[in-house]
Structure 1
Amino acid sequence: METLVLPGRKTIESEQIVYLESDSNYTIIHQTSLPQKIITAKSLCYVQEALDPKHFIRINRQQVININCITSFWEEKDTVNIEIFNGDLFKTSRRRTSSFLNSISPIEI
């Protein structure tokens, strides 16, 4: 079990993280447990580097998704639409579509 350590010694279990979202130089961490959102004064790149790349994949400039939370995905032109367990929908950027498909293909959803 991997743990993400944030400033102020705040810790989050990686399996509790659903996705990360960029907001300028801040990162909003969406998780399954309460509180459901945590905002940290670290960039998305910094937080993503602290997580296991086998489980977390960057799908566009603003979002990183936990692969374990994906329920379905489908291709649409140059992008991929992704649905996670709570019904939220995401879209890959054209540039990151192939890396997403390569990362997710060995995993059966």
Structure 2
Amino acid sequence: METLVLPGKKTIESEQIVYLESDSNYTIIHQTSLPNKVVAAKSLCYVQKDLNPKSFVRINRQQVINIACITNFWEENDTVNIEIFNGDLFKTSRRRTSSFLNSISPIEI
């Protein structure tokens, strides 16, 4: 079980993370447990590098998604629409579409 250590010695189990969202120099961590959102005083790239790249994929400049939370995805033009277990929808950027498809292809949803 992997643990993400945030500033202030706060820890979050990686299985509890649904997705990460950038907000300037902060990262909003959306999780399944309460509290649903935690704000970290680190930019998204620094938080992402502490996570397992086989479990989390960057889909655009603003978001990183936990692959285990994806329930459905479909290609549309040059991007991919992604649906997670709670019904939220995300869209890959054109530049990150191929890396998303490469990281998700060995996993059947």
User: Could you say whether these structures have the same fold, taking a TM-score greater than 0.5 normalized by the shorter chain as the test?
Assistant: yes
Counterpart of 1:25?
25
| SS across alignment from 1:80 | strand
Q: 1-side partners of 2:58 and 2:32: how far apart?
A: 19
Task: Supply the RMSD in Å over aligned alpha carbons.
Answer: 0.3
User: How many residues are treated as equivalent by the alignment?
Assistant: 109
User: Are 1:6 and 2:14 counterparts?
Assistant: no
Deviation at 1:81, TM superposition (A): 0.1
Q: 2-side partners of 1:103 and 1:58: how far apart?
A: 10
User: Are 1:68 and 2:57 counterparts?
Assistant: no
Query: Can you list the C-alpha shifts for 1:29-84, whole angstroms capped at 9, x where unaligned?
Result: 00000000000110000000000000000000000000000000000000000000
Deviation at 1:97, TM superposition (A): 0.2
**Runs of 4+ that moved beyond 6 A:** none
**Unmatched 5+ stretches in structure 2:** none
Structure 1 counterpart of 2:72, one-letter code: S
**Unmatched 5+ stretches in structure 1:** none
Q: TM-score, normalised by structure 2?
A: 0.99
Structure 1 counterpart of 2:24, one-letter code: S
| SS across alignment from 1:46 | helix
Deviation at 1:28, TM superposition (A): 0.1
